[in-house]
C-alpha cells in the first residue's frame, strides 16, 4: 500500500478542482485525506496538520488555493515532505494571482507548482513521488502512460482518415 497523499484546500469553493486530483488518485488506488484548511482563515489547523503529516503516514502533500494563494507555502514551511501547489482560478485575475503567489517561493522552502487548476497533474506528480519507493505504483504509472498514448494514436488515426487521403 502506498503512503497517503495529504490534500488541503483553502476553501470548499476549490472542490471542483480538488476532485480532479481525488479522481486521479482513486484511479491509481492511492489513499488520501482531504481537509479545508486555509493559510489565512485557519492557519493553526493548516500548520498543525502539516507538522504532523510525516508521522501520520503521508508521503506527499497537495495544497489548492486561489487569490492570495499562500496555502502551499504555509504547508511547505511546516514539513519536509514534498509539497505540490495548485493555483486555483477563483478571482477576477484568472488565476494569475494564485499562480504567482504559489510559485514564487524563497530558497529553502520549495513548492512544486503545477498549472492553474491543474489538479490532475498534481495527483500524478504526487503519484510519481510515491512511486520512487513503490514498484507496484510505478508499474501502474507506466501502464497509464501507455494507455493514454494509445488513446491519442486512436484520435490520430481518426483525424488522418479524414484529412490525409
Ligand atoms: C482562497 O480564496 C481559497 O483557496 C479560494 O480559492 C479563494 C476564495 O475562497 P472563498 O471566498 O470562496 O471561500 O483562500
Residue 65 has a pLDDT of 98
CA 104/CA 127 separation, integer angstroms: 24
Confidence of residue 79 (pLDDT cuts 50, 70, 90): very high
Q: Which residues of 1-21 are buried (b: 16+ CB within 10 A; e: fewer)?
A: ebbbbbbbbbbeebeebbebb
Q: What is the pTM of this model?
A: 0.96
How far is ligand 1, taken at its centre, from the CA of residue 64, in Å?
A: 9
Report residues whose beta carbon is within 6 angstroms of any ligand 1 atom.
Answer: 10-11, 13-14, 38, 65-67, 88, 90
Q: Each residue of 11-35: pLDDT tens digit?
A: 999 999 999 999 999 999 999 999 9
Domains of the chain: residue spans and CATH: 4-134 (3.40.50.1970)
Could you tell me the distance, in angstroms and rounded to a whole number, from the CA of residue 94 to the centre of ligand 1?
A: 13
Q: Which atom of ligand 1 is nearest to the CA of 65?
A: 4
- The predicted-structure confidence for 6-16, as pLDDT tens digits, reads as follows 999 999 999 99
β partners of residue 52: none
Does residue 91 register a pLDDT over 90? no
Task: State the cell numbers at 141.
Answer: 504509472
Average model confidence (pLDDT) across the chain: 97
Q: Tell me the pLDDT band of 138, cut-offs 50, 70 and 90.
A: very high
The order of strands in the sheet holding 112-113 is 32-36, 4-9, 58-66, 83-88, 112-113
pLDDT for 162: 98
Q: Look at residue 1 and tell me whether its pLDDT is greater than 80.
A: no
Choose one of 90, 97, 102 to mutate for the ligand 1 pocket test, by most ligand atoms within 8 angstroms of C-beta.
90
Nearest ligand 1 atom to the CA of 9 is: 4
Amino acid at each position: 500500500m502506498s503512503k497517503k497523499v495529504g490534500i488541503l484546500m483553502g476553501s470548499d469553493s476549490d472542490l471542483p478542482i480538488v476532485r480532479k486530483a481525488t479522481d486521479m488518485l482513486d484511479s491509481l488506488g492511492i489513499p488520501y485525506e482531504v481537509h479545508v484548511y486555509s493559510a489565512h482563515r485557519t492557519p493553526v489547523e493548516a500548520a498543525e496538520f502539516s507538522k504532523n503529516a510525516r508521522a501520520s503516514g503521508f508521503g506527499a502533500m497537495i495544497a489548492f488555493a486561489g487569490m492570495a494563494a499562500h496555502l502551499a507555502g504555509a504547508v511547505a514551511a511546516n514539513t519536509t515532505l514534498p509539497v505540490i501547489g495548485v493555483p486555483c482560478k477563483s478571482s477576477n485575475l484568472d488565476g494569475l494571482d494564485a499562480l504567482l503567489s504559489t510559485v514564487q517561493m524563497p530558497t529553502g522552502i520549495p513548492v512544486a507548482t503545477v498549472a492553474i487548476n491543474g489538479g490532475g497533474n498534481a495527483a500524478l506528480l504526487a503519484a510519481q513521488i510515491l512511486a520512487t519507493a513503490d514498484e507496484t505504483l510505478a508499474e501502474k504509472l507506466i501502464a497509464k502512460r501507455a494507455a493514454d498514448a494509445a488513446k491519442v494514436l486512436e484520435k490520430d488515426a481518426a483525424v488522418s482518415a479524414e484529412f490525409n487521403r
